[in-house]
Amino acid sequence: MKKDDCIFCKIAAGEIPSQCIYEDGLFKVILDLGPATKGHSLIIPKDHYEDLFEIPEETAAQAMVLAKRLSARLMEKLHADGLNLVQNNKETAGQTVKHFHLHMIPRYKDDMQNILWKPGEVTQDELALIKETITG
Ligand code: AMP
Ligand code: ZN
């Protein structure tokens, strides 16, 4: 299923140009146009799902298998030193394109990027309360 005004639906359909590094019946994988690092790629399902909450479990699982396979290739071909998988959902979490996608970001020593977060502080009691909220 496609959405008319969706840029990633158009890329998946080949209506907007992209540098495609992999394609099959379900996914198109392209180089990001605003890369965090060399080789920053996006795994895009060809069908339109807005985010993690909409994508079917089976498709999400297939995206992760593809990420594992292509990440190894990026590491090897680009001589990367590490790799981040990033997947943003909703504006608050940094999602700018509302069509599910999984970022593969190769990392290089001294690439000066910062995809990590500043650790907060929490007590065991606070953790226990949060656990109750999630599991209760
Ligand atoms: P997110 O912030 O997780 O929604 O990521 C959206 C990503 O899509 C950003 O990294 C953009 O650089 C990338 N992007 C947006 N438009 C294009 C495009 N036409 N071709 C390739 N990447 C794109
Ligand atoms: Zn779409």
Q: Which numbered atom of ligand 1 lies nearest the CA of 103? A: 3
Residues with Cβ within 8 Å of 51's Cβ and at least 6 positions away in sequence, in order, are: 89, 90, 95, 98, 100
95 touches ligand 1 (CB under 6 Å): yes
Å from CA of 16 to ligand 2 middle? 12
97 Cα nearest atom in ligand 1: 4
pLDDT digits over 91-134, tens only?
Answer: 999 999 999 999 999 999 999 998 888 999 999 999 999 999 99
pTM for this entry: 0.96
Q: What's the pLDDT tens digit per position in 18-33?
A: 999 999 999 999 999 9
Distance CA 18, CA 128 (A): 47
